Structure 1
Amino acid sequence: VLLQQGFPASVTPMSLPVLLDDIILTHSLFQPTDRFLQHPAPCWEEGEVLPRKQAVLTVLLHFLETFKGILQEDESAGKVIKDLYLLIMKDASLYHELEDEILKLHQLVETVELKVTEETQPPNKQVKPLFRHFRRIDSCLQTRVAFRGSDEIFCRVYMPDHSYVTIRSRLSASVQDILSSVTEKLQYSEEQSTREEALILVAVASSGEKAMLQPSEECVFTTLGINSHLFACTKETFESLVPLPEEIQVSPGDTEIHRVESEDIANHLTAFHWELFRCIHELEFVDYVFHGERGRRETANLELMLQRCSEVQHWVATEILLCETLGKRAHLLKKFVKIAAICKQNQDMLSFYAVVIGLNNAAVSRLRLTWEKLPGKFKNLFRKFENLTDPCRNHKTYREVLTKMKPPIIPFVPLILKDLTFLHEGSKTLLDGLVNIEKLHSIAEKVRTIRKYRSRPLCLEMESSPSQLQTKAYVRQFQVIDNQNLLFELSYKLEPSSQ
């Protein structure tokens, strides 16, 4: 309707109606992007009505502003936009009133680098080591950039004997594509790969849990658990798969956390998590929750953020449970409470939540002797933190604190996904064949809060001394134990009885 009739006189391209933003943010729930983009072209071609053409430009500009950064991954949508762009540019000289909008359109199309065919991909694209699979100091110190499905990555795929091959693959590659790369590396012949020796791909967690991946599954790299690994094996050797040995070696002496100030660790946590949060395109939140209706979309950066949240929780438990001396362990407990406090002060609620959850890990909370040595001031502070993270009444206390904060804010991302899931499951997308506008508006409102959190830059003053770089490297590549059974074993060795 907006395209056919044009915008009312009270609405200009500079003051877009919320409804338009709602539709652009959520249209993929009820219509594929390439089909959605086919509506403006006929409206541009029909007649000489200026308001209608202005409406087409307004919709297209807002769409490009919203989708820039991820549009080049959608080949069919890119082609539709490019065709529409050429159609508009052909008529550009006829509509001087739209000169500013058309110029902006030209600039945006240049910016998003629309991908129409495979041949247009930029040459010599940098290949990235996948998060956690390589512990290279030089790469972990670099500013994080967003992952896209077309990015090529290096990743290890293990064999049943724990040998491995390093493959080069697209991040969005299917399981079948990954297995083809592994087969090529192993120099399997076509005859072998079509017989019973054909390989399957399995995700093996540190706990020993195994999940066989289907050949058609895509984007599996970023869905792995913290210490999970990909294994290629035959069906006959599936049952014999065992996880890799724990990467952490328990050795005497203090780890890095004992040597670094709480403020430095907290600030580096906030800085890194801000980078990760900024890498997540706002539409990844929608795609993560609603992909079941429309087929999987790319949510790599969001999945890496969730993985990092889990990693921080296990880092807290790991560091405490690897500390064998009671006095030092109590001091470490105090340090983590201080880190949580500084993260909260930094408005990094993701780190704050993760540290508090880590301290509440059952293997840590049962250490009665350790907790008894925590000074009363810090016990009281931790109780306040527990109240703040209490899920009671739909996280009421946390939400009240969050509303009083001003950007920049790093929210507790899992709660945003919980809210979106509630919106999704609480009402239907289509009612009697019509789109449920109220549902779309509620989803879009949640996405707009993410925009608000990131509307101002993060400014943390940190030195670039060698010691600070060492702390930065430590914070960005934690080594953690995520096997809860092993954490309990360590806990009972430290304090055999919880009497």
Structure 2
Amino acid sequence: TPPPTPCLSLSLLDVLLDDVILTHSLFLPTERLLQQLHQRFLLASGGPVPGWEESHAPPRKRAVLTVLLHFLETYQGILQEEESAGKVIKDLYLLIMKDASLYPELEAEILRLHQLVETVELKVPEETPPPSKQVKPLFRHFRRIDSCLQTRVAFRGSDEIFCRVYMPDHSYVTIRSRLSASVQDILTAVTEKLQYSEEQSTREEALALVVVASSGEKATLQPSEECVFTTLGINSHLFACTKDAIESLVPLPEEIQVSPGDTEIHRVEAEEIANHMTAFHWELFRCIHELEFVDYVFHGERGRRETANLELLLQRCSEVQHWVATEVLLCESLGKRAHLLKKFIKIAAICKQNQDMLSFYAVVMGLDNAAVSRLRLTWEKLPGKFKNLFRKFETLTDPCRNHKTYREVLSKMNPPLIPFVPLILKDLTFVHEGSKTLLDGLVNVEKLHSIAEKVRTIRKYRSRPLCEYERASPSQLQTKAYVRQFQVIDNQNLLFELSYKLEASSQ
């Protein structure tokens, strides 16, 4: 067999390096990986090593630099969350810079390293803390139009947010907290706030933090849990109370009130809404660091790490589904309701044309909500052309044969595109649960390669910028604000109640 060409070998080595950098946390913590690189760089200088020659040093040091550069390029943007890694990187950087004059052949790599270290925000324990960051709003908690119109930027665990924590009587305290704060940290902040109130100053019993959904379901959080803000449901809220008061907690009134009437969707064209959705979802998709996909699926194996941006996009997908159902079921006029179905099918079609498959899926799933699909009289008024189009959309989103139809359509699309992200997570979960990470104490390279291939696919989807659809007219800004903060009912029982009021019988 002839030896592989240098080009092919380089390509395979690049893929292998990328596999290791993307998945190393599953078998080797980041700090240990960097310590290994530090040690290898030192050993490359020689010493009491049999057979070592001075000419061996540059290629070995270049190998260490290649791995380090790829690591920094992949992790930039999230390294500020890795405090222990920051110190090791700084020490390794100083070691490499000390050797820079001895190895002029490594000038290009060392220059690139210097540029990356200058760009990356390294968090080093003994250094003075950085100035306090601007508080960021979570998009589902906007109360000001100007906030929701801002371009989305990535969240990090060290970012600070304002959050309301409610009491059993629906009064609340507003706390300022890190996004990655533990439940215990949140409760400590709440307790400090309550101590300023004379009414609460004598409280001695410990508080519990409870998530209350709009349906009335309750979940008590454990003190050690972290990053809870971005895991809340669409209309869920945090409550602080004593353990004996948990059963008495009820949802906030505004989450169960219904206000039928015409909303923005009745005024605006389908194309305008679809384009605003694509623009917003592209912002959210771009905010997700590719490693969040690995951390989200493998958090049990490699420890919890912030996946806030991915969780926010998943919540948005659920929000769009409930938005579709909410708008249809709050429309009391049969004629207008049928027109809404038609408009939503148009929106789905334009999102598909925009290659925004996340929005496309979410809208179709919203129309497939049982509370909507049972409205026989409404669907009968839909023109045949749109009935046929919707049947095609249902075929495209059909999960049979492992989503074969959707995968075929996606394979023919070129970037930029927004995939149906829950399916990517399903694929990663299948890889994770289908094989072990370690086999007889050795790393399962095939499994790690499969994971990295999925991540590279996400990278490809985002390899080109999305063209701008928006104009800045007052009406456009109003539509943009509407699209970015949908008011939805996520209580399925309440959706069914509305459905039966509109059409008592589905026979």
TM-score (norm 1): 0.95
Matches for 1:341-490 after TM superposition, within 5 Å: 341-490=349-498
Give the aligned partner of residue 280 of structure 2: 272
Matched position secondary structure for 2:276 = helix
Deviation, 1:312, is: 0.1
Shift of 1:197: 1.7
Give 1:230's aligned residue: 238
- In the alignment, the residues of structure 1 paired with residue 420 and residue 11 of structure 2 have an alpha-carbon distance, to the nearest angstrom, of 32
1:4 counterpart residue number:
none
Superposed displacement of residue 14, structure 1: 9.6
Give the secondary-structure state (helix, strand or coil) at the position aligned to 1:115.
coil
Indicate which of 168, 174, 177 corresponds to 1:166: 174
**How far apart, CA to CA, are the structure 1 residues paired with 2:503 and 2:208?**
43
| Cα deviation 1:374-394 (Å, max 9, x = unaligned) | 000000000000000000000
User: What is residue 17 of structure 2 aligned with on the other side?
Assistant: 20
2:410 partner letter: L
For residues 208-357 of structure 1, what are the structure 2 equivalents within 5 Å?
A: 208-247=216-255, 250-251=258-259, 253-357=261-365
Give SS of 2:152's match. coil
Farther off after superposition, 76-85 or 449-458:
76-85
Q: Give runs of aligned pairs for residues 58-69 of structure 1, distance below 5 A.
A: 58-69=66-77
1:31 and 2:39 matched: no
| Mapped contact 1:149–1:298 kept (Cα < 8 A) | yes
**Two-structure CA RMSD over aligned residues (Å):** 1.8
How far the C-alpha of 1:118 sits from its partner, in A, is 7.0
Q: How far apart in 2 are the matches of 1:438 and 1:341?
A: 38
Q: What's the counterpart of residue 40 of structure 1?
A: 37
Deviations along 1:317-351, one digit per CA (max 9) or x if unpaired, are 00000000000000000000000000000000000
Deviation at 1:454, TM superposition (A): 0.1
> Take 2:480 and 2:172, find their aligned partners in 1: how far apart are those partners?
29
Q: Is the 8 A contact 1:133 1:156 kept in 2?
A: no
Larger CA deviation: 197-206 vs 116-125: 116-125
Q: Is the 8 A contact 2:187 2:208 kept in 1?
A: yes
Q: 8 Å contact 2:139–2:485 — kept in the other structure? A: no
Structure 1, unpaired ranges of 5+: 1-7
The Cα offsets for residues 433-457 of structure 1, whole Å up to 9 and x where unpaired, read as: 0000000000000000000000000
Change (3 A) 1:365 1:118: farther
SS of the aligned residue for 2:448 comes to helix
Q: 1:92/1:422 Cα in 2 relative to 1: closer, same or farther (>3 Å)?
A: same
Distance 2:69 2:81 in 1: 18
**Partner Cα separation in structure 2 for residue 361 and residue 253 of structure 1:** 21
SS at match of 1:155: strand
Q: Which amino acid aligns with 1:246?
A: E
What is the distance in 1 between the residues matched to 2:256 and 2:494? 12
Aligned length: 490
Per the alignment, residue 3 of structure 1 pairs with none
Contact in 2 for aligned 1:202/1:212 (Cα 8 Å): yes
Name the structure 2 match of 1:78.
86
Separation of aligned partners in 2, 1:194 and 1:136? 36
CA displacement at 1:124 relative to structure 2: 3.7
1:157 to 165, 178, 186: 165
Once the two structures are TM-superposed, the CA of residue 43 in structure 1 deviates from its matched residue by: 1.4
1:239-275 deviation digits (Å, cap 9, x = unpaired): 1001111347544641110000000000000000000
Verify: 1:102 aligned to 2:110, yes or no.
yes
Q: How big is the shift at 1:232? A: 0.3
**Equivalent residue for 2:123, pick from 115, 124, 141:** 115
Gaps of 5+ in 2: 47-53
Partner of 1:5: none
**Pairwise CA distance, 1:44:** 1.1
Q: Is the 8 A contact 2:325 2:371 kept in 1?
A: yes
Asked whether the equivalents of residues 168 and 239 of structure 2 are also in contact (C-alpha less than 8 Å), the reply is yes
Hey, what's the Cα distance between the residues in 1 that align with 2:435 and 2:174? Answer: 45
Contact 1:279 1:301 in 2 (8 A): yes
Question: Partners of 1:232 and 1:317 in 2: how far apart?
Answer: 31
Q: Secondary structure at the match of 2:337?
A: helix
> Structure 1 residues 251, 222: CA separation in 2 closer, same or farther (over 3 Å shift)?
closer
Question: Is residue 247–residue 479 contact of structure 1 (8 Å, CA) maintained in 2?
Answer: no
Between the aligned partners of 2:95 and 2:62, the Cα distance in structure 1 is: 14
Shift of 1:130: 2.5
Superposed CA deviations along residues 174-216 of structure 1, whole A, max 9, x for unmatched, are 0000001000111179xx9998621110011111110100000
